[in-house]
Amino acid sequence: MSKEQVQQHDSTGHGADSLHAAPGTHASGHSAGHDDGKFTFNKLLDQLGDHHELNIFFGHYEILPIILMDETNSFHTYANLHAMEESGQFTMHHPAAPHKIVSTTLKDAAGAPVGPKLDLSVTNFVAYQWIAMILVTILFGIARSRYRKSPLSAPRGIQNVLESLVVYVRDQIVQPNVGTEKRASRLMPFMLSLFFFILSLNLISLLPGAHAATGALPVTMALATCTLIVVNYIAFKDAGVKAWFAHLLGGAPAYIAPIMVPIELVGIITKPFALMIRLFANMTAGHIVLMSLVGLIFFFAQEMGPTVGWGVAPISVLFSVFIYLLELLVAFLQAYIFTMLSAVFVGLALGDHAQHDDHHHAEAH
């Protein structure tokens, strides 16, 4: 963006007042712009993206705060989108930049509206992540309170479900891959956090009108980055720095290090990158198929008449139910795969040191 900006009010009617959403539409911009009212798959799939309002149970709730930093490094905070529009400083309804937050008065040298320098707003996907964290905290809080009240009683209800999942993650995912029981115990908080956080987000996305936060690359990238950090930290701590650098040679002689080290470094980065893409692609694909199947009803009704639309509806609904049940399976499967591969990567990073608790113990043997 050019630093040369012209501070001027748009005299063609694009000022703050004219840019507000029309009555009956949401300030998010879903209904803004040049909308001819016709159904298109692009409009339908656009709903899968992130938004500045909470979308759940087919409702759009403008309750998420907007936090923006302008070109002068000044912060602007609003209670929601409606409050932002009312302030007249920023809008999401500028004809030159629909569905994007831009200034109502600033333009760059090319005449395009200027967006905020930094957008720290709480978006739809961020809200889902908060809901998932709160939900997991509440469920484990309930289980913890029951254990404290009756530590010797058989688990029941949600306590039994959580215990079964925790034991499965420990005995079938973490310990067989990371080597020792001591290391598995150290890694359990991270692995359980991964598993239950991803599972919660996946299940929340199956609620009516909800979106998949795990279908957003920034979310999956953050999870993969955490795995990258933990895997290499464990390798450094348990195998030792010397062993970690030796692992970069892949067992090859030292004189070919200029070739092997870059390849191994790419491999270290590629593993979490694959995690990121796998989770993103699987969760996004299922929701695209679901929305496309439902969209067929409206498409045929629009193009060929209501009778054809009603005729397509039973087939579309049956396939949608099948895909929905498949998505329920995928929700658990993707949480399992992400956690499993994270544990596998720890074992691969440790190499021959996987069966020892630390590198000092390994050297003693």
Q: SS3 letters for 208-229?
A: CCCCCHHHCHHHHHHHHHHHHH
pLDDT in tens, 102-113: 988 888 888 888
Retrieve residue 246's tokens: 């030796």
- Which tops the pLDDT comparison, 28 or 172? 172
User: What pLDDT, on a 0 to 100 scale, did the predictor assign at position 221?
Assistant: 95
User: What pLDDT, on a 0 to 100 scale, did the predictor assign at position 355?
Assistant: 67
Q: Count Cα neighbours of 124 within 13 Å in the Cβ-side half-sphere.
A: 25
Domain ranges of the chain: 5-43+54-122, 126-364
Cα 48–Cα 54–Cα 56 angle in degrees, nearest 5:
70
pLDDT in tens, 173-215: 999 998 888 889 999 999 999 999 999 999 999 998 888 899 8
Cα 188–Cα 230–Cα 175 angle in degrees, nearest 5:
35
Cα 200 from Cα 331, distance rounded (Å):
9
Q: Count Cα neighbours of 193 within 13 Å in the Cβ-side half-sphere.
A: 12
- Among 16-20, 206-210, 249-253, 339-343, the range with the most confident prediction by mean pLDDT is 339-343
Mean predicted lDDT score pLDDT of the chain: 82
Cα 196 from Cα 135, distance rounded (Å):
10
The residues with which 69 forms a beta bridge, in sequence order, are 75, 118
What band does 16 get if pLDDT is binned at 50, 70 and 90?
very low
Asked if residues 349 and 234 have their Cβ atoms less than 8 Å apart, the reply is yes
User: What pLDDT, on a 0 to 100 scale, did the predictor assign at position 226?
Assistant: 95
Cα 339 from Cα 335, distance rounded (Å):
6
Cα 98–Cα 214–Cα 199 angle in degrees, nearest 5:
150
Q: Is the pLDDT of residue 243 over 80?
A: no
What band does 56 get if pLDDT is binned at 50, 70 and 90?
confident
pTM of this structure:
0.81
Q: What percent of the chain has pLDDT over 90?
A: 42
User: What pLDDT, on a 0 to 100 scale, did the predictor assign at position 25?
Assistant: 39
Cα 77 from Cα 83, distance rounded (Å):
9
pLDDT in tens, 119-155: 999 999 999 999 999 999 999 999 999 889 988 888 8
What long-range pairs does 4-11 form, CB within 8 A, spacing at least 24?
A: 4/108, 4/109, 5/71, 5/106, 5/107, 5/108, 5/109, 5/114, 6/106, 6/107, 6/108, 6/109, 6/111, 7/105, 7/106, 8/105, 8/107, 9/104, 9/105, 10/104, 10/105, 10/107
User: What pLDDT, on a 0 to 100 scale, did the predictor assign at position 363?
Assistant: 45
User: What pLDDT, on a 0 to 100 scale, did the predictor assign at position 302?
Assistant: 85
What band does 57 get if pLDDT is binned at 50, 70 and 90?
confident
- Which tops the pLDDT comparison, 75 or 363? 75
